[in-house]
Copies of this chain bind each other. A is one copy, B any other.
Amino acid sequence: MIIIMERNATKENIKTVMDLLKEHGFRAILHEGEVHTVIDALGDKTTLSFNRIEALDGVSQVKPVRSPFRLASRDRKEEDTIIEFDNGVKIGGKNRPVFMVGPCSVEDDYEGLLKVAVAAKEMGCQFLRGGAFKPRTSPYDFDGLGEKALKYLYKAKQETGLLVVTELMDASDLDLVCEYADLIQIGARNMQNFRLLKAVGKCNKPVVLKRGPANSITEFLLAAEHIMYNGNEQVVLCERGIKGFDSSYTRNVMDISAIPVIRKYSHLPIIADPSHGTGQRYLIEPMSKAALVVGADGIMVEVHHDPSKALSDGKQSLSIDEFKRVFSKLNKLIDILKLENIGQYAPFEQV
């Protein structure tokens, strides 16, 4: 890290910083400038945090040189992480992007869910998604069927062969969710619920981690780092829209460039969720395409057998007919990008 001292820092201030650095095994080089004194320090940040140094008298700024995430960084692991499931489905690398579809919440209507699952299988999707435990901004909204929903998902899996992805909201439900799910989702509002990250870090199921709506890319990768640091390296990232200053037309601003940025700085796979990213049914098709051409490893979309009756998120869900129309186009786009070698499969070799 680089430590910039205040213009009027005393010799003593500088000595205190240098001593602290040495005490923690850092190699520190002092550059006394005409205006500012600057210290370059090389060492293990786990033993001495920025905070400690910033709080010292006479210190103006502490600037990182290396990214604060390590396990998630491409610096540590150059090749793409590929996550493989029992049935051979793979996410990441040069594999065909995966599709995860299903209702926002699993409702008490197994036939409805099965209709979606059957259509999903038909369109080449690999995952059935659906909420059993739902985080809701208001206590007056439907918050999920719980275990019953997990059972419905599992039943639909047995009938269609689709893998199951569902959200875990609390560490105390981990065993239950693991019993039924193939991929555990950590929702956007829980991206910095560190206890939950620790819990899924200690289990051996793949995790899909959604970006918090007001979290930076660094915070996002550090949340993945929490999971990896606790032992689970099977993390799929998911961009699902960030908070903007205008929500008249879309619920969030879908940060499409986060996808190529993350592919550059991290080896973890990244997928996109245009349902939450935009909150608008008519934007699912264009934004899915956008995510795919910039290199997303998959798409997660809300599909409901009857959106007008959905207990949650109907406005951003596709009906089964719409889903088929949209996804046949997405499949075609993927085929072409691959054939022509103009997209997705090698986004960073080109420039």
Query: Within 8 Å of chain B (Cβ to Cβ): is A14?
Result: no
Q: Across the interface, which residues of B come within 8 angstroms of A22, CB to CB?
A: none
CB distance from A84 to the nearest CB of B (A): 25
State whether A249 touches B261 (Cβ < 8 A): yes
Query: Within 8 Å of chain B (Cβ to Cβ): is A214?
Result: yes
Report the bound CA distance from A336 to B343 in whole Å. 12
B-facing residues in A234-250 (Cβ within 8 Å): 242-246, 248-250
Q: Which of A123-131, A149-157, A166-174 lies at the binding interface?
A: A166-174
Option from B45, B172, B190, B281 in Cβ contact (under 8 Å) with A351: B281
Q: How many residues of A contact B (CB 8 A)?
A: 118
Q: Which of A93-101, A108-116, A287-295 lies at the binding interface?
A: A287-295
Q: Across the interface, which residues of B come within 8 angstroms of A182, CB to CB?
A: none
Query: Within 8 Å of chain B (Cβ to Cβ): is A175?
Result: no
Chain B residue at smallest Cβ distance from A54: B315
A sample of 24 cross-chain residue pairs with beta-carbon separation below 8 angstroms, ordered by A number, consists of A46-B140, A49-B140, A51-B311, A51-B314, A52-B309, A54-B314, A56-B308, A68-B138, A135-B194, A170-B195, A171-B172, A189-B192, A213-B214, A217-B249, A242-B244, A249-B265, A256-B287, A257-B286, A285-B351, A286-B293, A290-B294, A325-B350, A325-B351, A332-B340
